[in-house]
Every structure is written in C-alpha cells, then in structure tokens.
Amino acid sequence: MSSAVSPTLAPPERWWRSRTVRRFCRHRLAMFGVAMIVLLTLACVFGPYLLPYDELFIDLRARFAPPLTGWHFFGTDPLGRDLAARLFNAGRISLLVGFFAMLMSTMIGTFIGVLAGYYGGKIGAVLMRITDAFLSFPSIFLLLALAAFIKPSPFTITAIIAVTSWMEVARIVSAEVRSLRERDFIQAARMLGLSNRWIMFRELLPNAIGPIIVAATLTVARAILLEAYVSFLGYGIQPPLPSWGNMLNGAQQYLGSAPWLAIVPGVAITLAVTSFNFIGDGLRDALDARSDLS
Amino acid sequence: MLRYLAGRLGQSCILLLLVSLIGYCVLLLAPGGPMSQFALTPGISKAELDRIAEQMGLNRPIIVQYADWLWHLLQGQWGTSFRDGRPVLTIIFEHLPATLLLMGTATAISISLGVWIGIRGAVRRYSLFDYAATVGAMIALSVPTFWFGLVAIYIFSLKLGWFPAGNMYTIGNGSPADYLWHLVLPAFVLAFVDVAIWSRYMRTATLDVINQDFVRTAHAKGLSRRRVLFKHVVGNALLPMITLAGMQLPVLLSGALVTETVFTWPGMGRLFLDSLGYSDYPVIMGLLMFSAVLVLIGSLLADLLSAFIDPRIRLA
C-alpha cells in the first residue's frame, strides 16, 4: 500500500548502512574489540578439537612444562594437564557465564527501571531506593556471601552475578524512561487507550534501547571479571570444570617456579574484558547522535 | 542547611533499613542457612539440631528474628563470632585500621596521579598523551585487580626483590618505614584501577570548565595560561570529583577486599574471607552492614562537603 500511495518515498535505509553502524565501524578500538571477541570465541569453540590434548588428561611426567614444550603451547599445570586445552575449555565457561549473567541482569535492571521510570511517584521511589540499597553494598562482599552459601554451579554463579549487578541498568533505564514519558508519542499512545504494559514495553523500551545496549556490553565485561574473582577465591566454578578464574586459583603458590600458570589465564581475562569495554565505548559513541558535532 | 541535613540523614536511615533487610534476607534465605554448619557435625541428631536452633532463636518466624537482630544492632550488640565467641564489633574494629590505611594510601595515589593525567589530557586534547591515557585507562579498567597483584608480586618481589610479597609488617620489626615498605605494592595495585577512573572523570570535568565564558574572560584579562589553569579551571573541575570520591567508595572497598587476599593484608577483606570459610554468620553479617554504613556515611559526607565548598549548590 505504501508504494502505491507515496511512490516518491525514499527506500528504507538498510540497517547496516545507517549512521550508527558507520560510526561504530570507524571506531578503531571497538573494531579491535569485535575482532578479539570473534577470535577468542572461535578459539574457545574450536580450539579444544584442534589440540592434541584433552583438558582433563593428567600426565605426571610432564608436570610444570614451560610454554612451547612439544605440543604444549602454553605449557602444563601442576598435574601435567595441557594449559592451552584448559584455557579454551575454561573460556567456554567464562564467556558463557559472562554472557548469560549480562542477559539476566539486563532483564532484571530493565524491568525495574521501566517500572520505576514509568510509574514514578511512590512505586518509582520504592524501586529506586531498593536499587540504591543494593548499590550501598560493596558488590564483591554481597557476591561472595551469596556464592559461599549457595552450592556452586555455572548456573548459580551466573544467577548470583546477575542478582548483584543489575543496578546500573535499572538506573539508566529509569532515567531514560522518565525523560521519554512526557513526549508526544507517549501522550498519543495514552489517548489511543493502549495499556500501560503496551506503552512501557512496546513504546518506551524500544526508544531507550541505545543506553541499554551500551550498559549490557559493559556488564559482560564486569561479569567476566566478577566470575574470575569469585572462582579465584574458590567460591565460583568448581574444578575439574575449568574457568579462567579457577585456573588462577592455584597459580599464586607456583608464582616463582611456574609463572605461566598465572600469566596465561590472566591475559585471556584481560583481553576479553578489554575487548568488551572497547565495544561498549564504541557503541556509546556510535549511538550518541551528538558525537558527530565534536 | 539544618533542614537539608535532617532530610539527608532521614534518607540515609531509610536506606540503611533497606540495606539491613536485604543483607539479612540474602544470608538467611540462602540454601543451608546458619544451621548448615552444625548439621555437618558427625553423629548429631535431629533433636540436638532442633535444640541448637531453639537456643539460638533460629526456629522463630523470620520477621521476628529480623526485628530482634535489628533491635540488638541498634543497641550496639552486633552478636558474637561463631568462631571464638568475641563480639563482632570488636573484631571488625581490630581489622578496620589496616583496611583504612590501605584505602587511604591508594586514594591519595590515585587522586594525585589521576587528577594530573586528567588535566594534562584535557589541556592537550587529542595529543599522543591524551590518546595513550584514554587507551591506558580502558585497559587498566579491564585488568583483574587480583591478577595485577599477582603480576606485581612476580615482578617486584620475586624477580627484583624490591618489596615484600605480603603481610603488613615484618614480625619483630614494625617500624613506620617497615609498614611503608609493605604498603607500597598493595597500595599501588589497588590505586591502579582508580587512577583510570579519576583521570577519565577529571578529563571530562576539565573540558567542561575550559570552554566556559569565565575562562575566556580570564584569558582576555591577560592572565598567564598557568594562572588561568590552576586558579580558574582546576578549582572548578575538582568540585564534581568530591561527589565521585563518595560514589567510588563501594568500588574501593571491593578492590581492597581483593587486594588484601592477594597480599595477605590483615584487614576487613581478609576477615571477611576467613569468616566465609568458617560460615561465621554474625561476623559476615556485621561486615556487610558495617561496609554499607561506611559507604552511606561516605556519600553523605561527599554531598555535604561539595555543598559546603560550592555556593552554587542550593541545599533544599
């Protein structure tokens, strides 16, 4: 119908040629981040099949082999297990935990933020005070207290990280929704008699999606860091299941004799977290319409 | 001013109440609960467990337990440790100075370094220095603190032998110089992330001020660049940093916990981890509450201080 009525209308812009995408692609650090994440993901998904060693194969004759001994690219650990194989398998767990923790915490934060921002008043005040209260705990204390008492598994760790890191998103979303609430298109939607739920999740949410995406990207970085902390301290992912954090767990005592045990997983964590931070920064610049002016 | 103070204090109290409720529920409702450590005793019977629960008041409804606990908390009775039976507050206050020393030193380092980097980056915007500082800050924010601590120990104590790898003082020594020597590595490791945050915020704040009319006026009056920068720009750019210092407190405390574990620093973080290992509920609960109180006081002080210094902020 649209083509018949208004034949002069410009064809819809393809999303991959939009200004936002072009701006993002010009952001060098963000592109570096994307490339690193793709590489890391590919390595973690396919790496274990390409390596000659199984991540659980114990070879006591090859204990503490330094990197580049034979086929042990990153060396071996105190039990003679291949560090490269463990690193890639651990990456699967750590990246998955980071991703799903982001998904859960973004959903919690968005839900609370939209409710608080849309209803405002008493409901908004109560919800935002709860958010403030959660923010008053040093997050690592709360996280550890929960992790220490709940039986650890990849799922519970993910859930615990999500429960302790949704507050930023909630604040951002509620501020965004509050500024959008009085706009004309929302007034129009109200006059059309649309339900509150429809207005919140079909009208307001899509318009606040930019800051949510940025916050979500940065949350992945934070979640990977948090998982590493908790697992390093022994309350996170439990061996024999490897994660980047618990690979560092035993590394401190061998720091003098086998420093690669600490360096290899640490570099992997830093690379992944830096990449997600770069991507988040690039997205923020790309989604901010004002950034063209400066 | 007084009305503002009263309002702010009221808000903090409500927040504290919420904090205590959340902390209490989180710990009590976690699977296992405080009874789980007694259930591990070999050969203990159900009747005995019930008796312990009754003795400790754990069989009452959770709301009653919470009210009772809160009432005692307000009277300064934070319970006694499951581990050695000493009062929780005493134990916390024993570990507080070490943490404060570490946090204070780290903050001093990060503020001085971060402010300097931020101002320089803003004044020479888009220079090599600015670009390096931006990328450097992003990487610093991504390095896990505990891993950075391990790397620092590896380089500076194991390889170079300049600094000790842990603890707060050498047993039998304990002179101020010895404390300082032990403080260097953990303080710098803890400050590392904060330098990044401070420099980012300081750069933005300086850029905001630099483009304002009164700075142009100062230049037009013929004041030297140096004078304009230090008298007019930096003073104004530092104001939002006070609020930031308040906001950074929980992050700093979290960082201190992690740093303390790597450097076996005998502070609150170390105490927290030890208590987790023993399922020492009263101490864990006490530390959670205590740190939240610290954070709330910190942000309240930051707000009051910035209002006190900056007459443009209206207290209403």
Interface predicted TM-score (ipTM): 0.81
Band of the pLDDT at A3, cuts 50, 70, 90?
very low
Residue B31: the pLDDT is 59
User: In this structure, how many other beta carbons lie within 10 angstroms of the beta carbon of residue B174?
Assistant: 12
Q: Is B253 close to A141, i.e. CB distance below 8 A? A: yes
Residue A62: the pLDDT is 65
Region A154-182: what's the mean pLDDT?
89
Band of the pLDDT at A69, cuts 50, 70, 90?
low
Region B75-89: what's the mean pLDDT?
81
Pair of tokens at residue B86: 């000493």
Mean pLDDT, chain B, whole residue set: 81
Q: Is B144 close to A269, i.e. CB distance below 8 A? A: yes
Percent of chain A with pLDDT over 90: 13
Residue A68: the pLDDT is 66
Q: Tell me the CA end-to-end span of chain A in Å, nearest whole number.
A: 41
How close A107 comes to chain B (CA, Å)? 20
Rg value, chain A, Cα: 23
pTM, to two decimals: 0.84
In a domain, A75, yes or no: yes
**Residue B7 CA from chain centroid, whole number:** 25
In a domain, A248, yes or no: yes
Pair of tokens at residue A96: 């998955």
Domains of chain B: residue spans and CATH: 2-74 (no CATH), 89-309 (1.10.3720.10)
- Please report, for residues A132, B64, B82, B308, the alpha-carbon distance to residue B15 in angstroms, rounded to integers and kept in the order given: 7, 20, 28, 23
Nearest alpha carbon to residue B211 among B177, B186, B236, B192:
B236
Q: How many CA atoms lie within 13 A of B185 on its CB side?
A: 31
For residue B287, which residues of chain A lie inside 8 Å, CB to CB? 141
B97-102 long-range contacts (CB < 8 A, ≥24 apart) are B98/B168, B98/B260, B98/B265, B98/B266, B98/B267, B98/B268, B99/B253, B99/B256, B99/B260, B99/B265, B99/B267, B99/B268, B99/B269, B101/B179, B101/B183, B102/B183, B102/B186, B102/B187, B102/B190, B102/B256, B102/B259, B102/B260, B102/B265, B102/B267
Between positions 172 and 201 of B, the ones with CB within 8 A of A are: none
pLDDT tens per residue, range B298-314: 888 887 887 777 777 66
Pair of tokens at residue B95: 């570990």
DSSP structure string for A60-87:
GGGTTPPTTBTTBTT-B-TT--BHHHHH
pLDDT tens per residue, range B217-265: 888 888 888 888 887 888 788 888 888 888 788 888 888 888 888 888 8
Q: Is A262 close to B288, i.e. CB distance below 8 A? A: no
| Domain total of chain A | 1
Band of the pLDDT at A72, cuts 50, 70, 90?
low
Q: Answer whether the bond into residue B164 is a cis peptide, omega within 30°.
A: no
How close A213 comes to chain B (CA, Å)? 18
More confidently predicted of B274 and B38: B274
DSSP structure string for A111-160:
HHHHHHHHH-HHHHHHHHHHHHHHHHS-HHHHHHHHHHHSPP-HHHHHHH
How close B138 comes to chain A (CA, Å)? 7
- For the ranges A265-279, B66-80, B111-125, the lowest mean pLDDT is seen at B66-80
In a domain, A59, yes or no: no
Residue A100 pLDDT more than 90?
A: yes
Give the integer Cα–Cα distance in Å for B279 and B83: 9
Q: Please, which residues have CB within 8 angstroms of residue A286's CB and are 6 or more apart in sequence?
A: A20, A21, A23, A24, A27, A30
Look up residue A9 and give its DSSP letter. Answer: S
Q: Is B146 close to A259, i.e. CB distance below 8 A? A: no
Residue B175: the pLDDT is 73
Q: How many CA atoms lie within 13 A of B98 on its CB side?
A: 25
Q: Is A129 close to B14, i.e. CB distance below 8 A? A: yes
Band of the pLDDT at A86, cuts 50, 70, 90?
confident
Looking at this protein, which amino acid is placed at residue A49? Y
Residue B156 pLDDT more than 80?
A: yes
Band of the pLDDT at A13, cuts 50, 70, 90?
low
Contact status, residue A189 vs residue A133, Cβ threshold 8 Å: no
For residue B273, which residues of chain A lie inside 8 Å, CB to CB? 144, 233
Give the SS3 label for residue B87. strand
Band of the pLDDT at A64, cuts 50, 70, 90?
low
Give the integer Cα–Cα distance in Å for A121 and A130: 14
Residue B45 pLDDT more than 80?
A: no
Say which CATH number the domain at A232 has: 1.10.3720.10
For residue B166, which residues of chain A lie inside 8 Å, CB to CB? none
Give the integer Cα–Cα distance in Å for A191 and B167: 67
Q: Is A29 close to B135, i.e. CB distance below 8 A? A: yes
Region A63-83: what's the mean pLDDT?
70
Cβ of residue A151 closer than 8 Å to a chain B Cβ: yes
Residue A99: the pLDDT is 93
Nearest CA in chain A to B137: A274
In a domain, A32, yes or no: no
Containing structural domain, residue A221: 44-53+69-287
Cβ of residue B207 closer than 8 Å to a chain A Cβ: no
Residue A294 pLDDT more than 50?
A: no
Pair of tokens at residue B236: 């104004």
User: In this structure, how many other beta carbons lie within 10 angstroms of the beta carbon of residue B53?
Assistant: 16
Q: Tell me the CA end-to-end span of chain B in Å, nearest whole number.
A: 8
In a domain, A157, yes or no: yes
Q: Is A277 close to B142, i.e. CB distance below 8 A? A: yes
Q: Is A277 close to B143, i.e. CB distance below 8 A? A: no
pLDDT tens per residue, range A224-244: 989 998 888 888 888 778 888
Cβ of residue B7 closer than 8 Å to a chain A Cβ: no
Give the integer Cα–Cα distance in Å for A83 and A66: 10
For residue B253, which residues of chain A lie inside 8 Å, CB to CB? 138, 141
- Please report, for residues A30, A245, A272, the alpha-carbon distance to residue A229 in angstroms, rounded to integers and kept in the order given: 25, 6, 15
Cβ of residue A268 closer than 8 Å to a chain B Cβ: no
Mean pLDDT, chain A, whole residue set: 82
| Nearest beta carbon to residue B258 from set A129, A135, A229 | A229
Residue A103: the pLDDT is 94
For residue A227, which residues of chain B lie inside 8 Å, CB to CB? none
Cβ of residue A155 closer than 8 Å to a chain B Cβ: no
Q: How many CA atoms lie within 13 A of B76 on its CB side?
A: 2
In a domain, A8, yes or no: no
Region B34-42: what's the mean pLDDT?
66
In a domain, A77, yes or no: yes
Between positions 108 and 137 of B, the ones with CB within 8 A of A are: 135
Cβ of residue A132 closer than 8 Å to a chain B Cβ: yes
Contact status, residue B199 vs residue B244, Cβ threshold 8 Å: no
Q: Please, which residues have CB within 8 angstroms of residue B177's CB and are 6 or more apart in sequence?
A: none
Residue A102 pLDDT more than 80?
A: yes
Look up residue A238 and give its DSSP letter. Answer: P
In a domain, A162, yes or no: yes
Buried b (16+ CB within 10 A) or exposed e, A155-171: eebbbbbbbbbbbbbbb
Give the integer Cα–Cα distance in Å for B310 and B235: 10
Between positions 10 and 39 of B, the ones with CB within 8 A of A are: 14-15, 18-19, 22-23, 26-27, 30-33, 36
Between positions 142 and 171 of B, the ones with CB within 8 A of A are: 142-144, 146-147, 150-151, 153-154, 158
Contact status, residue B52 vs residue A166, Cβ threshold 8 Å: no
Residue A156 pLDDT more than 70?
A: yes
Between positions 73 and 102 of B, the ones with CB within 8 A of A are: none
Pair of tokens at residue B261: 């574990």
Q: Is A262 close to B154, i.e. CB distance below 8 A? A: yes
How close B275 comes to chain A (CA, Å)? 10
Residue appearing with tokens 């999500």: A162
Contact status, residue A58 vs residue A105, Cβ threshold 8 Å: no
Give the integer Cα–Cα distance in Å for B245 and B111: 9
| Nearest beta carbon to residue B26 from set A130, A142, A235 | A142
Give the integer Cα–Cα distance in Å for B78 and A59: 51
How close A249 comes to chain B (CA, Å)? 10
For residue B138, which residues of chain A lie inside 8 Å, CB to CB? 29, 274, 277-278, 281
Cβ of residue B292 closer than 8 Å to a chain A Cβ: yes
More confidently predicted of A290 and B250: B250
Band of the pLDDT at B216, cuts 50, 70, 90?
confident
Residue B315 pLDDT more than 60?
A: no
